Structure 1
Amino acid sequence: MDNFSTIKLDETDLQIIRLLQHNARITNKELAAKLDLTPTPVYERVKRLERMKVINQYVALINPKLIGKDLMAICMLRLEKHTKEKLADFEAHVATIPEVVECYHLAGQYDYHLKVLVKDMNTFQDFIVNKLSVNANLSNIQSSFVMSKITDSTAVPID
């Protein structure tokens, strides 16, 4: 499905999504037990949700601090030029920088919002000077540093 229009999902589909968002390692047998179904139809529903791209991927969520990524920065960026080619060049550049874990193209005061994970302030400075600002189309970078996370979820709200 390429058009990303809203897909009709029944309550069982929604419950499967809720359960998988909470624990992607749950087995089909465990899913079936929680849904009061047999494993085969649950397996078929999960496969259908994957084919329809409702479920995009399964990942392990890592605690950044436990692997030495103690500093999270939010960078708000403005570009000089906004041609299709310049935007594509900038996005391709940012996509190659491993410290950038999220990047959003925005409407409003800033053009891009980046979430950056690094070891410390020295590493952040190196990131800005040697990785991010080498893109000639950048006109402004404003960075803020996260003091604490209040909420952090990867789950999409399911009504």
Structure 2
Amino acid sequence: MKIDETDKKILEILQNDGRITNAKLAATIGISPPAMLERVRRLETAGIITNYTAVLDREKIGLEVMAIVSISLAAHELESIDRFREKLLALDEVLECHQVTGEDDFILKVVLENIKSYSEFAMKKLAGIPGIQNFKSSFVLNTIKHSNSLPVKLSKS
């Protein structure tokens, strides 16, 4: 689906305020509410808008530790990778998992209550996943930039 400049403006606004009313969004963009509703539905149907969610402050809900974990697998055949992915999907502590190129095979973003919780997670859950050759943990001391908004202005759609 080709998105135009109006679609890009809609996407920018919705990424920053998913609770904006259709009427306010239409007024901001300068089109009628029925036309706006049709555009948003088209973006949803095309799978460009995949979800609406609330963003939580992890520390305020007691998740004080964030770690970036680099994982190397012992074997790189499809069956081993699929088994790893399946086990990883069951771990609620893992917010993100990226398969990457380079020295490591996967990079995880993990959140937990404290260092003791992380230690238990690493030793009892992560180390127990078959196929992991090794893993390295780096703890986030401070977040300089965090965004869930994609730069739609840069897209060439």
Instruction: Report TM bin, short chain.
Output: over 0.9
In structure 1, the residue corresponding to 2:51 is in which secondary structure?
A: coil
In structure 1, the residue corresponding to 2:95 is in which secondary structure?
A: strand
Give the Å deviation of 1:132.
0.8
4+ runs deviating over 3 angstroms: none
CA distance in structure 2 between the aligned counterparts of 1:35 and 1:113, rounded to whole angstroms:
39
Say whether 1:102 aligns with 2:88: no
Asked if the contact 2:84/2:130 (under 8 Å) is kept, the reply is no
- CA displacement, residues 60-93 of structure 1 (integer Å, 9 cap, x when unaligned): 1110000100000000000001111110110110
TM-score of the aligned structures, taking structure 2 as reference length:
0.96
Say whether 1:48 aligns with 2:45: no
- List aligned pairs for 1:111-130, cutoff 5 A: 111-130=105-124
1:4 maps to what in 2?
none
Say whether 1:145 aligns with 2:139: yes
Q: What is the root-mean-square deviation in Å for CA atoms of aligned residues?
A: 0.6
The percentage of counterpart residues that share the same residue type is 35
Say whether 1:8 aligns with 2:26: no
Give the Å deviation of 1:158.
1.4
Within the candidate set 66, 74, 82, 2:60 is matched to 66
TM-score of the aligned structures, taking structure 1 as reference length:
0.95
In structure 2, the residue corresponding to 1:33 is in which secondary structure?
A: helix
CA distance in structure 2 between the aligned counterparts of 1:146 and 1:90, rounded to whole angstroms:
24
In structure 2, the residue corresponding to 1:110 is in which secondary structure?
A: coil
Higher relative contact order (CA 8 A, sep 6+): 2
The one-letter code sitting in structure 2 at the alignment partner of 1:116 is V
Within the candidate set 104, 120, 136, 2:130 is matched to 136
Q: Alignment length, in residue pairs?
A: 153
The one-letter code sitting in structure 1 at the alignment partner of 2:25 is L
Give the Å deviation of 1:136.
2.0
The one-letter code sitting in structure 1 at the alignment partner of 2:145 is T
CA distance in structure 1 between the aligned counterparts of 2:117 and 2:5, rounded to whole angstroms:
47
- CA displacement, residues 89-115 of structure 1 (integer Å, 9 cap, x when unaligned): 101101100000000001111000000
In structure 2, the residue corresponding to 1:134 is in which secondary structure?
A: coil
Give the Å deviation of 1:135.
1.0
